[in-house]
Amino acid sequence: MCLDVDSASLFFDLESPRPRHRERALCRQAQEALVLALAQETSDPRLDGAWVASVDPAPGRRLLVSLVLPSGAGIAGIEAAFVALGDKKPWLRAEVARAVHRKRAPDLAFRVLLEQEVERG
């Protein structure tokens, strides 16, 4: 009796989940570092009430940081937050580098959203 068995179903690739696992771990570590850094940064009114919703991989060794502002911030608040993040980008990147212990710290890209645009949870 000969069974038709697909040899691919008997073996699995141990390497394929690893890059995603490392990527997710990097994003999680970066998010924790950014949450702590922004909690310490209370002197900039442009970032008052802002919180980090997520950190996701982006092309070119970058991380996309989604920052959420309170609902009343409006367009002017979003623009001011972008300027503040641009000013603080070297410091935020250094905080991430300190937390992730990688050979090269990832570059950060920012997306600023209003609270009503984001589902918490």
CATH numbers and ranges of domains, the chain: 13-117 (3.30.300.20)
Can you give the pTM of this predicted structure? Answer: 0.78
Phi, psi at 100, each rounded to 5°:
-95, -15
- Asked if pLDDT for residue 75 goes beyond 70, the answer is yes
- Asked if pLDDT for residue 121 goes beyond 70, the answer is no
DSSP state string for the chain: ------GGGT---SSTHHHHHHHHHHHHHHHHHHHHHHHH--S-GGGTT-EEEEEEEETTTEEEEEEEE-GGGHHHHHHHHHHHHHHHHHHHHHHHHHHH--SSPPEEEEEEEEGGGS---
Choose the weakest-confidence range: 10-14, 80-84, 103-107.
Answer: 10-14
- Asked if pLDDT for residue 63 goes beyond 80, the answer is yes
pLDDT of residue 52: 94
pLDDT of residue 71: 84
Residue-wise pLDDT tens digits, 13-56: 555 555 578 888 899 999 999 999 998 877 889 998 899 999 99
